[in-house]
Structure 1
Amino acid sequence: MASRRKLLFTTVIIVGTYFLFLGLFEARSFLAPLVTAITLSLLILPITQKLEKRMNRSVACLLSSLLLFLISIGVLALVSFQIRNFADDWPKIKETMKPKIEQVKQFALKHSPLSQEDIDKAEKSSNPSGSSIAQRMASFMSKLSSFVANYLLTFVYIFFLLNYRHVFRNFLIRIFPDERRDKAKDIMVKSSKVVSEYLVGKLILMGLLAILYSIGLGLSGVSNFIIVSLIAALLTLIPYIGNIIGFTMAVAFGFLTSGETSVLIGIALTFTITQFVESYVLQPYVVGDRVDVHPFFVILAVILGNMLWGIIGMVLAIPIMGIITVICLQISELEIIGKLLSKNGFKNSTEDN
């Protein structure tokens, strides 16, 4: 009887988890902007509270939302400017890389089972037909319109979350029985603190990384190195993968444009040294243990976030995992799970193996 109950309980957990993630995936167009708005609201909340001491709450919340909106517009402008420069340099890049691509082809023909026909087929498949281009343009316009709608909706959410935060807070507290309301308040305060401290620390870290990237890429001879450095620093919001994307972007705007090996070496050295400084100097002192999540579960959360919500899911993975860890550690029934997710959960355990 007991074994049957365990089997039933395990089955319910597995099926429930499957449908939970399926629901999160299917509702991504609704949930992703909302969760993003909640995260950004916690980031801007300290500024909003200071503004509320000098003016009406609604006005303070509106100004805070507009501040975030203007910052995001600036980031998008930087990215679009760099993409336009890359498009303008594309003919030059093709001419510069043409002999190097030919060398790669010859090397592949001599040292691999590939034939000239295989290479020709690959080149034909990489050149889309007119109908394929039309389909891609239609898909791009559809995604662009969806992005703009969700983008604007996010800031509407931010305003209402800030302006009516006491209503939502009181509602969440009143859900719990009287004897657990103090614990609920404590969890909400700690969760908010985890997200805001992590994001503030991350912003400071990105500023320092932008300076280091600018110095290294400028000395390496990368064109528009300041903008490239800012974008590479912003990409560190995506754990682990963001650094790879930043390096690839620097190579695209540096080595592919000039074709000089010295530029490629300079870019590689810049990112290697900067990553070392970030991991062993800046990260411990600037961000530190603001989010107490084990690195293994950070990687799993980032991968899962990408599968569910794409890039937004990857950015939100660490704050969400931090909140989940705080909640589990504060609830006695879930404390063992919180210790598993926590970086320091079992550090004081007497068991070594």
Structure 2
Amino acid sequence: MEKTTTSKGKQMLIYGTLTILGFYFLFLSLVKASGFLIPLTTALILALLMLPLSRKMEKSFLNRTASSLISTFIVLLASLGFLALVSMQVKTVVDDWPKIEETMTPKIENLKAFLFEHTPLSEEDLKESKEGSGLPLMSSNSNAGQKAATFLNKTLGFFGDYLLTFIYIFFLLNYRHRFKAFLLKLFPDSKRHKIKGVIEDSASVTQKYLVGKLILIGLLAILYAIGLGVSGVNNFILISILAAVFSLLPYIGNIIGFGLAMIFGYLISGEMGVLIGIIITFTVAQFVESYVLEPYVVGDQVDLHPFFVILAVIIGGMIWGLAGMVLAIPILAIINVIFNHVTTLKPFGFLLGQETD
């Protein structure tokens, strides 16, 4: 009896160790292969988003190649428009920075005085922290050249991945039936019907989630634009669009959008009325998003527990950065669909899903 208990303990220890090592090397591989996997995964999600439109065009008047090309071009135009909005916003920040600095200087001084008076901090502590966190200046031309070369390499790498994503989208749409047939051939005939259901449900849940999110972004942009415009925020249209787009990042995106509104609203004007208007706008918008838009527009297409949503976003950020945070929810939704269709994995699907009580 003791030998049996000891052998089971050893087996659990071995399996637990192998599981931990497996996850470690999996995450390490995902980080190392990020340059290849991020464009491919992004293209897969976007191809699933455009699949309904491609099918409609194929049924009406176009062949598959033409519909795939048009769908890819639509995604390209949308992404270029978003990049243009971001670049315009960055330029506005740079142009308005002297005004922001002038407005915030007295507020920062008041905050320092409050901290010095009510906390153990002193001016010497503040000076030491500034000196300790300062970055070394570029003292030689070689360092400047190295930094310029690094920036150039990163820029070229970004645009290379950016263009490669659209090439992937075209081929995934154009040859989707071939890829589907390949996946079905990996399994015996007795299981192909179930595998086909997993593939179709995974594509369907991702499509519905992304389409719902796009509608939600448009409605949020309108809500933000009305509130921020009435509050007197500069460039409120651009800020509203960006804040709505950042809602793709659960929880974190709302903080980013609020920060943008604070920069272009309260920090530039310094008026308390603008600050109150921004707070009211985002409070009302978040209430409408959580209790009206999410349930009725996005619905339960991604039936995931909030805890695992947050966990997926954090892990995605650790592995692939910002791209991982955006892609984490659709990927987790697909994994959950697979769990719910495979009998031995259904307990994991129950764990990831929301309670139905």
TM-score with structure 1 length normalisation? 0.94
Partner of 1:85: 92
Equivalent residue for 1:154?
165
Q: Please list the CA deviations of residues 37-57 of structure 1 after superposition, one character each: whole Å capped at 9, or x if unmatched.
A: 000000001111122231222
Per-residue CA deviations over 1:96-151 (Å, capped at 9, x if unaligned) read 11111111121122122222122234445676554189476554443322211111
The 10-residue stretch of structure 1 (273-282 or 45-54) with the greater mean CA deviation from structure 2: 45-54
Deviations 1:286-312 (A, max 9, x none): 111010111111111011001001111
What amino acid sits opposite 2:9 in the alignment?
S
Q: Decide which of 61, 66, 72 is 2:68's aligned counterpart.
A: 61
SS of the counterpart of 1:131?
A: coil
Aligned partners of 1:332 and 1:292: how far apart in 2?
Answer: 18
Amino acid at match of 1:119: L
Matches within 5 A, 1:233-312: 233-312=244-323
The superposition leaves residues 66-86 of structure 1 with CA deviations (integer Å, 9 ceiling, x where unpaired) of 110000000110111011011
Aligned to 2:38: 32
CA distance in structure 2 between the aligned counterparts of 1:104 and 1:120, rounded to whole angstroms: 15
Range with greater deviation from structure 2 (32-41 or 51-60)? 51-60
**Pair 1:136–1:38, CA change in 2 (3 A):** same
Separation (CA, whole Å) in 1 of partners of 2:260 and 2:122? 31
- Judged with a 3 Å threshold, the aligned counterparts in structure 2 of structure 1 residues 73 and 193 are, in CA distance, closer, same or farther, namely same
3-state SS of the aligned residue for 2:300? coil
Q: 1:43 aligns with which of 35, 39, 49?
A: 49
- Residues in 2 aligned to 1:26 and 1:34: alpha-carbon distance in whole angstroms: 14
Q: Deviations over 1:196-251 (max 9, x none)?
A: 00000000011110010001100111001011000000000011100000001110
Q: How does 1:89-108 map to 2 (within 5 A)?
A: 89-108=96-115
Partner of 2:179: 168
How many residues are matched? 346
Deviation beyond 6 Å, 4+ runs, structure 1: none
| 1:198 counterpart residue number | 209
Cα distance between partner residues in 2 of 1:106 and 1:175:
69
Q: How does 1:322-337 map to 2 (within 5 A)?
A: 322-337=333-348
Task: Select which of 215, 238, 247 maps to 2:226.
Answer: 215
Name the TM-score, length of structure 2 as normaliser: 0.93
Please report the RMSD computed on the Cα atoms of aligned residues, expressed in angstroms.
1.7
Corresponding residue for residue 16 of structure 2: 10
Query: How far apart are 1:168 and its partner, in Å?
Result: 0.7
Q: Which runs of 5+ in 2 are unaligned?
A: 1-6
